[in-house]
């Protein structure tokens, strides 16, 4: 941090190092394969650190690399202190940690402690019988009065959340797949074991944790309460006391249920819980009330802007936002919110600009920085994701046509984000010399990292610029957010203000040209910071924007 930044009197909250950081998410299975088995691995990640350093990111969030039978690609962990053999060894991980650190990049691990794998030793013990000392590490119930499941709690991947264990006659709870039994957080032994494991990793120098479905750990299944259980925040505060206190880690909770009020509980300065949480309102906003993401609503920019503005305002004084368009569970940003045909490049850049200029810590999902698009699979055989395959079975049994299902999967299957990262225009995008575990996109010939790095007008270089600007401009990190033209259906306009600095962000989020009348106070001049088509350094009352054109101007007084 520069002397100027540290002393900037306009910054009134205590600076945290992760306020100006950008996080890059890696889905290891799909990132880079070093040995030709078709599965991305840790040596593959090490080989791409130069690329990540060039992009300028500060942290890597690694989706799970732990030992796992891979029922849910590693979100089913059988040993928290070992590495899945297909990803490498613990020594490979230490090497990654050290080599990333040499480049100033920290590693954030995925903490998946709502559930384990059914092959975790705790569960293998627990299912031995009612008197086993690990029995209570999981959630067991006798059958309901009719002999079936104890109640009708549903699994997020479809079907009952209860699975019968024939040998004991009891059911265990699994909010995800039946191979992901839920841990019983009411048991102090569970909590102790999790904290010990977290300390083991933190002591070895990782930079923090992304906490998988952390809003579910306080569940009360008998009352059918899953998210936001009564002891949720007690557990997170205890976790903080036992692991994070006296350390300077970044923590981000995955919280599908969070509201602006509860975000302040998780991330408020005096709360001693987490650095920040992921909120998903901009994601679920386009989901159908009944069919969820398998039937989506049309894009509504006015509603989308309202969501972002609400979160920017809600966490303006306390708490901290995380900023993201996509992750390994969500469609590709440019396909979902932008336009992945003719306007792929400007729309990917504009989406990046409007997000990265907000207040919060940005997260870039692998491939987003080169404008990767959704998968274009045409048959169910090409899909690999457990959620997609389960839903396919259930929806077809309920009468949905195979074509309609594929149409829904095109929009929202988790596999959209899981196709191999294309590094070159070689077969499979150079991701592997073998056969990839999931097919590469058909467009790797033109959309690949090598081409993006070589082209200074690419989406990659736009991201690089945005990431750098956050490091050099306090106003982007700490400035007050104010939106304008909230009812405009195509244009996103906001400012960030800190002391005498003001950033104006003006974006056309549509594929039609737009002529827009600006509010008087926006008419301004200054320095062009970032743009899609050409640098703009002053704004008149009436502005013409090309399809998906956007830019930012810095005004200093
Ligand atoms: O995701 C939580 C979760 O609820 C998602 O499965 C989500 O509902 C769905 O993808 C949206 O369509 C986390 C992980 O990010 C995900 O990859 C895991 O499968 C899940 O937890 C279980 O660990
Ligand atoms: Ca491999």
Question: Using a 6 Å cutoff on CB, does residue 29 contact ligand 1?
Answer: no
DSSP string covering 506-552, please? EEE-SSS-EEEEPPGGG--B-EEEEESSS---B--SEEEE-TT-EEE
CA of 387 to the centre of ligand 1 (A): 9
Q: Is 293 in the pocket of ligand 1 (CB under 6 A)?
A: yes
Cα of 329 from ligand 1 centre, angstroms: 6
Average pLDDT for residues 522-539, to the nearest whole number? 96
Decide whether any atom of ligand 1 lies within 6 Å of the 340 Cβ.
Answer: no
The ligand with the least distance to the CA atom of 64 is 1
522 close to ligand 1 (CB < 6 Angstrom):
no
pLDDT, tens only, 491-505: 999 999 999 999 999
The whole-number pLDDT of residue 503 equals: 98
CATH architecture of 480-556: Sandwich (2.60)
**What is the model's pLDDT at position 297?**
80
Q: 């032994």: which residue's tokens? A: 189
Residue closest to 383 by CA, chosen among 419, 421, 432, 420: 419
Compute, in angstroms, the gap from residue 165 CA to the centroid of ligand 2: 35
Cβ 264 vs Cβ 319: under 8 Å: yes
Query: Ligand 1: which atom is nearest the Cα of residue 112?
Result: 23
| 4, pLDDT greater than 70 | no
Query: Which residue's CA is the closest to the ligand 1 atom numbered 23?
Result: 75
CA 540 to centroid of ligand 1, rounded, Å: 46
Please tell me the predicted confidence (pLDDT) of residue 298.
84
Q: What share of the chain is helix, strand, coil (3-state, %, to 5)?
A: 35, 20, 45
CB 172 within 8 Å of CB 165: yes
Average pLDDT over residues 119-136: 98
pLDDT digits (tens, 9 = 90+) for 145-202: 999 999 999 999 999 999 999 999 999 999 999 999 999 999 999 999 999 999 999 9
Q: Which phi and psi angles does 216 have, rounded to 5°?
A: -95, -10
User: Average pLDDT of 220-249?
Assistant: 97
User: What is the 414 CA–ligand 1 centroid distance (Å)?
Assistant: 9
Q: Residue 293: which pLDDT band, with cuts at 50, 70 and 90? A: confident
Task: Give 22-115+188-463's CATH code, choosing from 3.30.70.330, 3.20.20.80, 3.90.76.10, 3.40.50.920.
Answer: 3.20.20.80
Task: Say yes or no: CB of residue 61 within 6 Å of ligand 1.
Answer: no
* Ligand 1 neighbourhood includes 27 CB (under 6 angstroms): no
Residues lying with their CB under 5 A of ligand 2, a single-atom ion: 33, 35, 37, 39, 41
Distance between CA atoms of 164 and 170, rounded to whole angstroms?
A: 6
Q: Of all atoms in ligand 1, which is nearest to the CA of residue 76?
A: 23
List the catalytic residue out of 58, 72, 118, 254: 254
From 329, 386, 394, 411, the mutation candidate for ligand 1 (largest count of ligand atoms within 8 A of CB) is 329
* Numbered ranges of CATH 3.20.20.80 in the chain: 22-115+188-463
Residue 238 is among the residues annotated as catalytic for this protein: no
- The DSSP 8-state label assigned to residue 323 in this structure reads E
CA 25 – ligand 1 centroid, Å: 15
pLDDT of 117 > 90? The answer is yes
Number of H helices, E strands in the chain: 17, 22
Per-residue pLDDT band at 287 (split at 50, 70, 90): confident
Please tell me if the CB atom of residue 76 comes closer than 6 angstroms to any atom of ligand 1.
Answer: no
Measured CA to CA, the distance from residue 137 to residue 125 in angstroms comes to 10
Domain ranges in the chain with CATH number 3.90.400.10: 121-173
**pLDDT score recorded for residue 286:** 85
Q: Is the pLDDT of residue 296 over 50?
A: yes
**Within the chain, which residue ranges are assigned CATH 2.60.40.1180?**
480-556
For the cut 60, the answer to whether the pLDDT of residue 49 exceeds it is yes
Give the pLDDT band of residue 1 (cuts 50, 70, 90). Answer: very low
Average pLDDT, the chain: 96
* pLDDT computed for residue 5 by the predictor: 52
* 156 Cβ inside 6 Å of ligand 1: yes
The protein residue whose alpha carbon is closest to atom 2 in ligand 1 is: 213
Please give the full DSSP string across 7-68, using - where no structure is assigned: H-TT--SPP-GGGS--EEEE-GGGT--SSSSSS--HHHHHHTHHHHHHHT-SEEEEPP-EE-
Give 386-420 pLDDT, tens digit per residue: 999 999 999 899 888 999 899 999 999 999 999 99
pLDDT tens for 15-37 read: 999 999 999 999 999 999 999 99
Task: Provide the pLDDT confidence category of residue 291 given band limits of 50, 70 and 90.
Answer: confident
| The pLDDT of residue 294 | 78
* CATH 3.30.70.360 correct for 121-173: no
Name the active-site residue from 212, 329, 385, 501. 212
Ligand 1 atom having least distance to the Cα of 75: 23
Q: 396 C-alpha vs ligand 1 centroid, how far in Å? A: 22
In this structure, the residue with its CA closest to atom 8 of ligand 1 is 156
Helix (H) or strand (E) holding 94: helix 90-102
How far apart, in Å, are the Cα atoms of 156 and each of 111, 148, 183, 214, 517?
A: 19, 19, 16, 15, 46
CB 296 within 8 A of CB 286: yes
Between residues 67 and 3, the one the model is more confident about: 67
Q: With bands split at pLDDT 50, 70 and 90, how would you rate the model's confidence at 6?
A: low
Residue 490 annotated as catalytic: no
Which ligand has its closest atom nearest to the C-alpha of 387? 1
């Amino acid at each position: 941090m520069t002397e100027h930044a540290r002393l900037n009197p306009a910054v009134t909250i205590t600076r945290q190092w992760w306020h100006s950081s950008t996080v890059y998410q890696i889905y290891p299975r799909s990132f880079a394969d070093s040995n030709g088995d078709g599965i991305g691995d840790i040596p593959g990640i090490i080989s791409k650190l130069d690329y990540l350093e060039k992009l300028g990111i500060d942290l890597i969030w690694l989706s799970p690399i732990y030992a796992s039978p891979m029922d849910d690609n590693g979100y089913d962990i059988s040993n928290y202190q070992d590495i899945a053999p297909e990803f490498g060894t613990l020594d490979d991980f230490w090497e990654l940690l050290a080599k990333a650190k040499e480049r100033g990049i920290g590693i954030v691990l995925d903490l998946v402690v709502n559930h384990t794998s059914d092959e975790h030793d705790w569960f293998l013990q627990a299912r031995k019988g009612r008197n086993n000392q690990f029995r209570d590490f999981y959630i067991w119930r006798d059958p309901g009065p009719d002999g079936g499941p104890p109640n009708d709690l549903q699994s997020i991947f479809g079907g009952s959340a209860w699975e019968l264990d024939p040998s004991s006659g009891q059911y265990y709870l699994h909010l995800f797949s039946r191979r992901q039994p839920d841990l019983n957080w009411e048991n102090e032994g569970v909590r102790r074991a999790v904290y010990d494991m977290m300390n083991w990793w933190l002591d070895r120098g990782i930079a923090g944790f992304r906490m998988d479905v952390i809003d579910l750990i306080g569940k009360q299944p008998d009352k059918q309460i899953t998210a936001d259980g009564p002891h949720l925040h007690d557990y997170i505060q205890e976790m903080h006391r036992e692991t994070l206190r006296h350390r300077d880690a970044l923590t981000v909770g995955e919280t599908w249920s969070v509201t602006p009020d509860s975000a302040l509980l998780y991330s408020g300065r005096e709360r001693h819980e987490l650095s920040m949480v992921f909120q998903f309102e901009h994601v679920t906003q386009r989901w159908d009330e009944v069919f969820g993401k398998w039937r989506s609503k049309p894009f509504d920019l006015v509603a989308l802007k309202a969501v972002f503005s609400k979160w920017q305002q809600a966490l303006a004084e306390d708490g901290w936002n995380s900023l993201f368009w996509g992750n390994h569970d969500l469609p590709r940003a440019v396909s979902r919110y932008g336009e992945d045909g003719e306007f792929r490049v400007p729309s990917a850049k504009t989406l990046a600009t409007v997000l990265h200029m907000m207040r919060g810590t940005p997260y870039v999902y692998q491939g987003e920085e080169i404008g990767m698009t959704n998968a274009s699979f045409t048959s169910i055989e090409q899909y690999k994701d457990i959620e997609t395959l389960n839903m396919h079975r259930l929806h077809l049994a309920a009468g949905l046509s195979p074509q309609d299902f594929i149409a829904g999967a095109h929009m929202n299957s988790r596999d959209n984000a899981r196709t191999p990262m294309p590094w070159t225009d070689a077969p499979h995008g150079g991701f592997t010399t073998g056969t990839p575990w999931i097919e590469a996109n058909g467009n790797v010939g033109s959309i690949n990292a090598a081409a993006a790095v070589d082209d200074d007008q690419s989406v990659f270089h736009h991201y690089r610029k945005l990431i750098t600007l956050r490091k050099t401009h306090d106003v982007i990190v700490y400035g007050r957010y104010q939106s304008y033209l909230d009812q405009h259906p195509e244009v996103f306009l906001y400012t960030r203000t800190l002391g005498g600095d003001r950033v104006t962000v003006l974006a056309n989020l549509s594929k039609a040209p737009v002529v827009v009348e600006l509010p008087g106070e926006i008419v301004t001049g200054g320095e062009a910071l970032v743009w899609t088509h050409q640098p703009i350094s002053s704004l008149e009352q009436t502005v013409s924007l090309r399809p998906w054109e956007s830019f930012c101007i810095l005004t200093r007084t």
